[in-house]
Structure 1
Amino acid sequence: MTSKVISIVLGGGQGSRLAPLTQTRSKPAVPIAGKYRLVDIPISNCLHSGINRIFVLTQFNSASLNKHIKNTYHFSTFSKAFVDILAAEQTPTSGGWFQGTADAVRQSLHHLATHDFDYVLILSGDQLYQMDFEQMIQQHIDKKADISIATIPVHVSDVPGFGILKTDSDSLITSFVEKPKSGFENLVSDVSDEMREQGRIYLASMGIYIFNRKLLYELLEGNDNTDFGKEIIPQSIAGHKVVSYQYEGYWTDIGTIPSFFDANLGLTDDIPQFNLFDKNHIYTRARMLPPTKISGTHMERSIIADGCIINAAHIIHSIIGIRTRIGVASEIESCYVMGSDNYQTLEEIAIAKENNQPIMGIGDRCCIKNAIIDKNTYIGDDVRINCGDPLPDGDYPTYTVTDGIVIIKKRAIIPSGTVI
C-alpha cells in the first residue's frame, strides 16, 4: 500500500513569523529539541509509516537544509528510497518562485512523473506531531476517496486560526471555510466523546493531504490556483469525494516564535505530549560527538544534548543543544540554547581570553531567562538576559524580542557585562 505513495514536504515561504531564526536558514532547517531539525518530523513520520520516497520543497535559504538532508538520509544502493530537495527553479514553463502551496506542487509535478505511484501525501514542514500515515492511507482507500484531509478537533477559540471543515456521519467533508472570523456555528462536526467533553467540536485542517495521482494533476494543470487551503480544497468539495481523517493525538503548528518556544520547552515535562522516547523516534543526522560533561550544576526538567561542557550553577526547564559550553555560576531558566556547529580549539580559546573576547557558548556568572540562544553565539561573562522587567518587542543588531522572549541571533557576539 505505502509502496504506491510519494510524499511531498512543503518547506514553506520566507518564514518571517519565525524570524530571526529563519534569517540564515529555511524554516524546515530550524533546530528543535537540541539536536533535530523541523524537517526531521514529517520525514520521520513518513519513514515509520513505510513511506520512503520523499521530496522536500523549499526556496528560501536552502543551503543549510540541503546540507542536513545530504548528511542525514542515506539508503541502500539497491533501494528506491530517497529524500530529495526540490528548490524553486526557473524552467521554460515557470518563472521561478513558488506562489503558494499548490503552486509549489504544480511546479514540481514533472519531477514526480518518472515515478510509479497512485497517491501523493502532502505535508507541512513546520509542525510537531507523531502520526501513522499508513492508517490515513488505508482509510483513503477503503472510503474510495479522491482527497483525504487530516483533521484535528479544536476549541471555538481556535477556529479563526485554522481552515475549518464540516463532515457528515461518514466523514465526508461537506463544507470548508479558511480561517472564519464569525458565523461558523453551523460548522460543528461529529467528534469523539472525549473531544466533545473538552469543547473541541470543530474540525481544523492540519495541512496534511492525500490526493489520488490523476486528480492532483487535473486540479493543478491548466489553472493558476496557488493555494490548497484557500482554493483547491474548497473548490473540490462539490465535485469530488473529499474525506476527513480525524486525528486526536498531539499536534501543534510551530510557525511562530511563541509556539516554537512553548513546543520545545514542553518537551522537558515529566510526561511530554510529544514523546521523544517513543519507539517511533525522530531520525536525524548521526553525529560522532563525545558525551556531555557536567560539573557542579543543579538541573531540573531539562534536556541536555550530546557534546556539552557545563559548569553552570543551575539549569531549570531548559533545552541545551549540541556542543554547548556554559561557564561557572551561570543560571539558565526557561531557555532553549541551540548549541554550536563546532568546537573552538584550546588555542582559539586562549587567544580570545588574552584579548578579552567572549568564547563560543555562555560565559561565567551569566543570568539568562525566557530566551532562545541561536547557534554559534558568543556570550561573555556576567551577561544578564531577560532577568529584569518584561521587555518590549523589538529587533536589534544582535537580538530580537518577541512576546517577552529574547532571541539571541545566530553568531551574535554579546560582550561581557551586557544587560538585555
Structure 2
Amino acid sequence: MSRPNRNVLTIILAGGQGERLSIFSEKRAKPAVPFAGKYRIIDFALSNCVNSGLFDILVLTQYRPLSLHDHIGNGKPWDLDRLHGGVRMVSPYLGRKDSDWYRGTADAVYQNINELEETDAEYVLILGGDHIYKMDYRPMLQLHREKGAEATVGVMRVPLEEAHRFGIVAADDEGRVVEFQEKPKQPKSNLVSMGIYVFNKNYLIEKLTKDAQDSSSKHDFGHSIIPGMLNAGDKLYAYTFDGYWRDVGTVHSYWEANMELLQDPPELDLYERSWVVYTRSEERPSAVIEASANVKDSLISHGCQVHGQVINSVLSPGVIVEEGAIVRDSIIMIDSVIGKGSVIDKTVIDKEVIIGEGSIIGYGDDTTPNKFEPHKLNTGITIIGKRAQLPANVKIGRNCKIGTDVKPEDFPSLELGSAETVTAAVQTTRK
C-alpha cells in the first residue's frame, strides 16, 4: 500500500439498487454482489483507493445496505481501520426538510456536505462502487492540479454499441471538456464518462449548494452538475484511462466480466502482487479437488469441494460440486451445492442454493427472452436466487429466472422451458 495522501477525501457512491441485475440485487446493494469468487464488487474501488494512497474514505449507502456494512465493517482488510481518516459508512437520514432518501448522486453528496466542510482535504474524489477495474487515481489527481481544473472527469473508450449506457464526453486538444450528453439514445462518440470525478472541495460545496436549491434539477452529477459546469464555462477537464474497466450493471455484463477472468492471459490480473485487490475473507479450509474431478479454465475459491467437472466457471467459497455433476460456463456463489449427476450450463447461481440430483439447468438452443424480464434475461443465461432449493431431476431451459427462497413444491412441473420464471410461494425476509 502507498503512502497516505491526506489532501484528498474520497466519496464512494454505493447506494445503487442495480435493478438490471435482477435477483442478485434484490436482497443486497449492487456493490455487495459477489464477483470473481471471493470478492465483492466494491472491493475494487476500495483497493484502488488504498493502493493509490487514499485512506480517507466515505461510503454512501442507501438501498439494502446491510450486506455492504457487514462486508466492509471497520475496514481492516483494506488497512482502513484508522484513528484519522479510514472508512466511514453513511446511510440516508432525516437531515433536512422533506429529505430522507437520496434524490440523485449529487444529492447524496449534498446530504453529507458537513463531511466536506469539516475535512482539511483540498480535493474530493468521487467514485462509483459498482465497477470492476484497477486504477491508480494519482495521475488523474495530478492532471487536475496541473490544468488548474475546477473538476476533472475520468473517461475511456467503449464499443459504440454500448455507449448509450453512459455519459458521452467530447474534449478539445487540451483535454478540456466541451460537450457532455448523459446516456443519449444515439451517441455520437464512444468516449464515455466512468463516473469518476475530482473536484476542488470549495468549488464542489458551492455547486452542490446551488443545485440543491434548484427545484427543476435531477440532483445528479451526470444530468445536472456536469452540464451546469459546461453552461457556466467552468474549468472541466477529461482524464483518459486506457486500462480494464467494466460496468457490470446487467446480468450479461456481470457474467461476461467473470468469464473474462478465465482467459489466458486475463485482461484483469487478480494475481498482480504490486496491485492487490483486498477483501474481507472468511476462514475456510483449502479447496479439495478429488481424484474423480476434472477442472479446466476455472477459478476455484477456498472451501470448495469438487468431485465432478468444472469447465470455464467461477466457484465462490464453500461450493460443492458432487460426483458426476458438470458445471460449465457458469458462476456459482457461496456455499451452493450442485447435486450428483446434475448439469449446469451458462447459469448464475446465488449463495446457498441447492440443486437436486440429476438436474439439468440451462439446456437447449431456445434463447427466447424471459417473459417477465425480457430486457434483463435475453442472452441465454439462466439465473437462480439465494437459498433456492431445486427438486431432483428438474430440467430448466435458458433465460429462466428461479427466484429467491424457492422450494421444490413451488415448481409447477419438473420441466421448465426457456423464458420461464418460478417464484417462491412464501417470501422470507433474510438478507
| TM tier, smaller | 0.7 to 0.9
Aligned to 1:410: 386
The residue type paired with residue 37 of structure 1 is: R
Q: Deviations over 1:114-158 (max 9, x none)?
A: 321111111111111111101110111111110000010234433
Distance 1:209 1:10 in 2: 12
Q: Tell me, yes or no, if structure 1 residue 318 matches structure 2 residue 313.
A: yes
Q: Deviations over 1:376-417 (max 9, x none)?
A: 111111111012233533379xxx955311111001011111
Question: Contact (CA 8 Å) 2:32, 2:67: kept in 1 or not?
Answer: yes
- For 1:2, what is the secondary structure of its paired residue? coil
The alpha-carbon distance between structure 1 residues 301 and 76, as it changes in their structure 2 partners (threshold 3 A), is closer
Aligned to 2:41: 38
The residue type paired with residue 268 of structure 1 is: L
Distance 1:20 1:171 in 2: 41
Question: Contact (CA 8 Å) 2:74, 2:81: kept in 1 or not?
Answer: no
Q: Deviations over 1:206-229 (max 9, x none)?
A: 110001001111111142431111
The alpha-carbon distance between structure 1 residues 204 and 183, as it changes in their structure 2 partners (threshold 3 A), is closer
The residue type paired with residue 92 of structure 1 is: R
Q: Larger deviation: 281-290 or 298-307?
A: 281-290
For residues 238-387 of structure 1, the aligned pairs below 5 Å read: 238-278=232-272, 279-295=274-290, 296-312=292-308, 314-340=309-335, 361-387=337-363
- For 2:179, what is the secondary structure of its paired residue? strand
Could you say which structure has the greater relative contact order, defined with CA pairs below 8 angstroms and 6 or more residues apart?
A: 1
User: Where in structure 2 are there 5+ consecutive unaligned residues?
Assistant: 397-431
Question: Contact (CA 8 Å) 1:52, 1:83: kept in 2 or not?
Answer: yes
Question: Contact (CA 8 Å) 1:323, 1:339: kept in 2 or not?
Answer: yes
Question: Contact (CA 8 Å) 1:318, 1:336: kept in 2 or not?
Answer: yes
> TM-score, normalising length from structure 2?
0.84
1:65 deviates by 0.6
User: Where in structure 1 are there 5+ consecutive unaligned residues?
Assistant: 188-201, 341-359
For residues 189-228 of structure 1, the aligned pairs below 5 Å read: 202-222=190-210, 223-224=213-214, 225=217, 226-228=219-221
Q: Return the match for 1:164 from 141, 163, 168.
A: 168
Distance 2:87 2:293 in 1: 40
The alpha-carbon distance between structure 1 residues 78 and 332, as it changes in their structure 2 partners (threshold 3 A), is closer
1:281 deviates by 1.7
CA RMSD of aligned residues (A): 1.9
Distance 2:245 2:391 in 1: 39
Q: Deviations over 1:233-258 (max 9, x none)?
A: 01102431101101111111111110
1:310 deviates by 1.1
Question: Contact (CA 8 Å) 1:12, 1:124: kept in 2 or not?
Answer: no
The alpha-carbon distance between structure 1 residues 417 and 277, as it changes in their structure 2 partners (threshold 3 A), is same
Distance 1:34 1:76 in 2: 23
> TM-score, normalising length from structure 1?
0.86
Aligned to 1:196: none
1:102 deviates by 0.8
**What is the identity percentage for the equivalent residue pairs of Structure 1 and Structure 2?**
36
Question: Contact (CA 8 Å) 1:2, 1:134: kept in 2 or not?
Answer: no
Provide runs of 4+ in structure 1 moved above 6 Å.
none
Q: Tell me, yes or no, if structure 1 residue 179 matches structure 2 residue 173.
A: no
For residues 42-81 of structure 1, the aligned pairs below 5 Å read: 42-70=45-73, 72-73=75-76, 75=79, 79-81=83-85
1:109 deviates by 1.4
